[in-house]
Each structure stands twice: as structure tokens, then as C-alpha cells.
Amino acid sequence: MTVKSLDDEDKLPIKQLIRAVNKKMDDVLRVVDALNLGRTEVKADGVYRTFNNGDVVKVADGNFKKRTVSVKRIKLF
């Protein structure tokens, strides 16, 4: 699943690509949990970090309301 040029990008099977990304994300979350770095969660009133033992720490204050995106196209390059 190696892409050698930008023309080859469209030939990648999307299901295989999603599986690879999910597998890497699972690996990252496993390491974060093992090191007890905490998982970050954004709520409407701030950013929180939840640790393995259940402690919740508020990392940042702010107004983080959900916003709608008008254009759903993502430009990578």
C-alpha cells in the first residue's frame, strides 16, 4: 500500500486505508493508556484530560461550541 506518486493516491482501496489508520490509532491509544498520559476531551466549556484512575483535570478554559462546516472537502496539498 505504498504510494509513489500523487497519481497513485486514487488507486488505494479506501477500506484498506481506513483499516490501517484505525490500527495505528489503536496502537497510539494503547501507548497513551500504558503511560497514563490521559485522554483529551473537548467539551463546550473547556478542554479536559481524563486519566486511567478516573481523575479529570481541566486543561484549558474557553467556549468550544460545536460548529457546522459549510464545505466538507479536505485539501491535503
Where do the domains of the chain lie? 11-61
- pLDDT(3) > 80: no
The structure's pTM equals 0.53
- pLDDT (tens digit per residue) in 27-50: 888 888 888 888 889 888 899 999
Residue-by-residue DSSP string for 10-28: GGS-HHHHHHHHHHHHHHH
Helices and strands counted in the chain (H then E): 1, 3
Tell me the residue length of the chain: 77
Query: Measured in Å, how far apart are the chain's first and last C-alpha atoms?
Result: 20
- pLDDT(1) > 80: no
Residue 49: CB atoms within 10 Å: 15
The pLDDT value recorded for residue 2 is: 62
Mean pLDDT value of segment 11-31 = 82
Of residues 73 and 3, more confidently modeled: 73
